[in-house]
Amino acid sequence: MVTIYDVASRAGVSAATVSRVLNGKKVREPYGELVRAAAEELGYQPSRTARSLRLQHADVIALIIPDIENPFFTSLARGVQDRAREDGYAVVLCNTDDDPVREREYFDLAVAEHMAGALLAPASSTSDVSPLLKAGRAVVAIDRHVDQDLDTVIMDNHRAALDATTVLVERGFRRIACITGPEDVETASQRADGWRAATLTAGRDPAGLLEHGDFRMDSGREAMRAQLDGADPPDAVVVGNSLMAVGALQAMASRGMTPPDFGMAVFGDLAFAPIVPAGIVIIETPARELGSAAASLLLARIKGAEGASRTVVVETKIRA
Amino acid sequence: MVTIYDVASRAGVSAATVSRVLNGKKVREPYGELVRAAAEELGYQPSRTARSLRLQHADVIALIIPDIENPFFTSLARGVQDRAREDGYAVVLCNTDDDPVREREYFDLAVAEHMAGALLAPASSTSDVSPLLKAGRAVVAIDRHVDQDLDTVIMDNHRAALDATTVLVERGFRRIACITGPEDVETASQRADGWRAATLTAGRDPAGLLEHGDFRMDSGREAMRAQLDGADPPDAVVVGNSLMAVGALQAMASRGMTPPDFGMAVFGDLAFAPIVPAGIVIIETPARELGSAAASLLLARIKGAEGASRTVVVETKIRA
DNA sequence: CTGAAAGCGCTTACAG
DNA sequence: CTGAAAGCGCTTACAG
């Protein structure tokens, strides 16, 4: 491995001068030129490890997410990575499978690796990030709040669900059901609340039209089936994410129903669907923006931004 | 930050002894107990940065892929991560967007961070991994070969395409087209070759039935359109990945065709499709297995495995 | 077996 | 402005 001393002796200067040149501090010519030439010729790569140890701070951030195979989180990761790269930070992807134990292991890893900070899409609102906070690392919550005072980046789930439901009302649907996520998940209940508000505003009764799934495909199918087989079935549905929407469409299809005759609004797109029935209202979940906004907040904190925790709300768009 | 010296003084021993205990070397009791208790009480997390600098070796591997938003690569990443975690290695995800410049930057990063090795799904067969090799880092190629002597993990694209095509022949389809990836991509041409071999074995003429796309949705649609609008259109098609298959299905649908009447075989599943027409032959691409096999090879090399480069071929399965 | 000490490759306060 | 030296937190060859 070529070290800073190799460059120094080749350029005929001290290691301190090499360090200064390579970190953009002013030096007298021709030292700058000599150092740059020597570094180039030797193919010098400064050791980020040594640098991190010295500075007690690595240009690395952790992105801790529940499920790397969920397209929402991969887009989010994409947004984080692009933003981090701009500032020269590397991103370590940590997959928790919604397991609090694994989440905790990654907190410890982030500390042990001297990572500058962590972005957390929490497995649960009770996730305890104090190991990170105690070690002085910046933390930003994404998509959901945690029970601690943290910078947070979310979308306006209530508003989006309300608007999408209103579009269905305006299209003349009479009984609009809602399939959302687990009761104890913030984003799920916000979406249900938005749907309920729009329903009440339209003078309809939401009773019996709300289903809780688990954001996976099968639960969407089950929930839709339950609604369709009920005594007074709906003529439209608002679905809390795209995987459950896929399941719901399957349940509809097995009963010969399909949009646009049956109304539908969905959080997230159906990008990988070969055949998307027309007339589905898409609530675009801005996963990439969520990621890049969170990364921006985190990087600002890392660079020393002070002040109370902020919550950034990223815009959703309705494509109808 | 609590250091090894804090633990040492609390336990009344030297830092060397703490290090030995925590690294599983034998020490006389009650030192072991004292050290473990002190570490526990202080919530000691050894600095992986200091350790890496000292050992010239970090328990971190880079996973360098062209596109994190492609489900094939996310499944692969999942496989890598699970396998790496077993051995206590962290995975840094590096997204190249098929850009050789970014790929090269990540090679340098891997060296600068003292990473133990890299897993590379190469942007091109001309990717030059010598910066890694020169620095003594282990490298394994995934999905495609590179023009260097490297451990490689691939699937048997030729065999899989041949078998899938044969299933279509047995189902009575007469003119079976093939939509594969770019001509200069190894996996794409292997798939085309398998299709061609099966076609010839069945006594059919493959002329005019091969299309090259770019593994994205639009190119699948275009290619299918071109075939369907030709003078002598096919009655079946083998498609080189799932995104192009989605496009192909769209083109078929716009002409009122759909499986199972129109024959179809696809590399990769259609997991996110709400409505998958019946009778599609699925060639299961074992992305997770590819990832875990590659990680295993890499970890073995990191631990010092010697010998000539190996190529591991992961099994594909046909679901018909 | 245990401890004192050196050294991994950087950065920066300090002296000149 | 530049250089010598200390120190970040570990591990391990060496001496005892």
Q: What is the mean pLDDT of each run of 10 residues along chain A (320 residues)?
A: 90 92 85 90 90 90 88 90 89 85 87 89 82 88 89 94 95 95 89 96 93 90 94 94 89 88 89 73 92 94 86 89
**DSSP conformation letters of A50-71:** HHHHHHT-EEEEEEEES-TTSH
Contacts of B295 in chain A (CB under 8 A): none
Report chain D positions within 7 A of protein CB atoms: 1-5, 7-13
Contacts of B111 in chain A (CB under 8 A): 45
Nucleotide with the nearest C1' to A56 CA: D8
- Please tell me the predicted confidence (pLDDT) of residue B209: 94
Is B157-284 in the same CATH topology as B55-148+287-315? yes
SS3 A6: helix
Name B220's Cβ contacts closer than 8 Å, sequence gap at least 6.
B179, B213, B239, B243, B244, B245, B246, B247, B248, B251
Separation of CA B265 from chain center = 21
Cα–Cα distance for residue pair B282/B260, rounded to 1 Å:
13
Could you count the other beta carbons within 10 Å of the beta carbon of residue B33? 12
Contacts of A56 in chain B (CB under 8 A): 1
Name A89's Cβ contacts closer than 8 Å, sequence gap at least 6.
A59, A60, A61, A116, A299
Where does B181-261 show beta strands of DSSP type E? 210-212, 236-239
A243 touching B (Cβ < 8 Å) = yes
CB burial of A180-211 (b: ≥16 within 10 Å; e: otherwise) equals bbeeebbbbbbbbbbbbbbbeeeebebeebbb
A42 touching B (Cβ < 8 Å) = no
- Please tell me the predicted confidence (pLDDT) of residue B307: 86
User: Does at least one atom of strand D sit less than 7 Å from the CB of A57?
Assistant: no
Q: Report pLDDT digits (tens) over B269-285.
A: 776 666 667 889 999 98
User: Does at least one atom of strand D sit less than 7 Å from the CB of A14?
Assistant: yes
Segment (H or E) for B64: strand B58-65
Name A47's Cβ contacts closer than 8 Å, sequence gap at least 6.
A1, A3, B53, B112, B114
- Please tell me the predicted confidence (pLDDT) of residue A238: 97
Report chain C positions within 7 A of protein CB atoms: 1-5, 7-13
A281-284: strand order across its sheet: A210-212, A176-180, A236-239, A263-267, A281-284, A317-319
Instruction: Tell me which architecture the domain covering A4-46 has in CATH.
Output: Orthogonal Bundle (1.10)
pTM for the whole thing? 0.84
Tokens representing A99 are: 């397991």
Name A188's Cβ contacts closer than 8 Å, sequence gap at least 6.
A180, A181, A182, A212, A215, A240
Class of domain B55-148+287-315: alpha beta
Domain boundaries, chain A: 4-46, 55-148+287-315, 157-284
**Residue whose pair of structure tokens reads 């997991």 in the numeric block:** B271
Nucleotide with the nearest C1' to B16 CA: C3
Would you give the DSSP letter of residue B230? S
Angle subtended by helix axes B71-86 and B287-302, to nearest 10: 40
- Please tell me the predicted confidence (pLDDT) of residue B83: 93
Q: Which residue is nearest to nucleotide D5 (CA to C1')?
A: A16
Cα–Cα distance for residue pair B78/B83, rounded to 1 Å:
9
CB burial of B150-173 (b: ≥16 within 10 Å; e: otherwise) equals bbbbbbebbbbbbbbbbbbbeeeb
B270 touching A (Cβ < 8 Å) = yes
Where does A235-298 show beta strands of DSSP type E? 236-239, 263-267, 281-284
- Please tell me the predicted confidence (pLDDT) of residue B220: 93
Q: Report pLDDT digits (tens) over A221-233.
A: 999 999 999 989 9
Verify whether the Cβ–Cβ distance B81 to A93 is below 8 Å: yes
Nearest residue in B to A52, CA atom: B49
Instruction: Tell me which architecture the domain covering B157-284 has in CATH.
Output: 3-Layer(aba) Sandwich (3.40)
Cα–Cα distance for residue pair A150/A162, rounded to 1 Å:
27
Distances (CA, A) of A306 to A58, A138, A309, B54: 20, 11, 9, 35
- How many degrees, rounded to 5, is the angle at CA A241 between CA A239 and CA A247? 70
Is the distance from CB of B151 to CB of B309 less than 8 angstroms? Answer: yes
Q: How many residues does chain A have?
A: 320
End-to-end alpha carbon distance in chain A: 58
- Please tell me the predicted confidence (pLDDT) of residue A110: 87
Q: Strand B317-319 vs strand B281-284: parallel, antiparallel, or unpaired? A: antiparallel
pLDDT in tens, chain B (320 residues): 889 999 999 999 999 999 999 988 888 888 888 999 999 999 898 999 999 999 988 888 999 998 888 888 989 999 999 999 888 888 888 888 888 888 988 888 888 888 899 999 987 777 889 888 888 889 999 998 888 889 999 999 999 999 999 999 999 999 999 999 988 888 999 999 999 999 999 999 999 999 999 888 889 999 999 999 998 999 999 999 888 998 999 899 888 898 889 999 999 877 666 666 788 999 998 999 999 999 999 999 988 888 889 999 998 999 87
Nucleotide with the nearest C1' to A20 CA: C11
Cα–Cα distance for residue pair A264/A200, rounded to 1 Å:
18
A130 CA → C10 C1’, Å? 30
Would you give the DSSP letter of residue A140? E
**Paired strand residues for B125:** none
A34 CA → D2 C1’, Å? 15
Segment (H or E) for B254: none
- Please tell me the predicted confidence (pLDDT) of residue B259: 85
